[in-house]
Amino acid sequence: MKISTKGRYGLMLLVDLATNEGGSPISLKSVAERQSLSEHYLEQLIAPLRNAGFVRSIRGAYGGYVLAKPKHDITAADIILTLEGPLTIVDEEFEDGLGELWDKLRTSILDVLNSITLEDLVEMRNRGDHAYMFYI
């Protein structure tokens, strides 16, 4: 299983919003510049994150995006599953007699992703924790 750039960049986007939140909306352009990401790509990621209720948009000259929920209420699983879809370890039509193993592996991965909040990722990033890079 490999998490694509959608999931990784989505995490980076929300970590950036959570890190830089202070009441003022944050533009995707500023996130793109800080994170060295494509603004156009971030525009594609923000819609599903907004539809899932993780961010909200503020219109106007000083508009942008803010978190719609507290950062301790958003997990890495929320973000990854929103952008990547259901977690699949092996194709379901492939029956190898190891279904229980794949289910346990999937559950373990989801447990880890559910145990890490956006707040945790911000703290890891602020500490310069190398584990942060593992998650993103």
> For 11-67, what is each residue's pLDDT tens digit?
999 999 999 877 789 999 999 999 999 999 999 999 999 999 999 999 988 889 999
Q: What is the mean pLDDT of the chain?
A: 89
Domain extent at residue 26: 5-135
Whole-number Å distance between alpha carbons of 101 and 130 = 29
Whole-number Å distance between alpha carbons of 67 and 128 = 23
- Contact yes or no for 119/135 (Cβ under 8 A): no
Per-residue pLDDT averaged across 72-98, rounded?
Answer: 87
| Whole-number pLDDT of residue 91 | 73
pLDDT at residue 108 above 90?
A: yes
CATH number of the domain that 24 lies in?
Answer: 1.10.10.10
> Tokens at residue 30, please?
């500023």
Percent of all residues in the chain with a pLDDT value above 70, rounded to a whole number: 90
Q: Where are the alpha helices (DSSP H) in 20-98?
A: 28-35, 39-51, 76-84
Give me the number of domains the chain comprises: 1
Longest dimension (CA), the chain: 58
pTM greater than 0.75 (yes/no):
yes
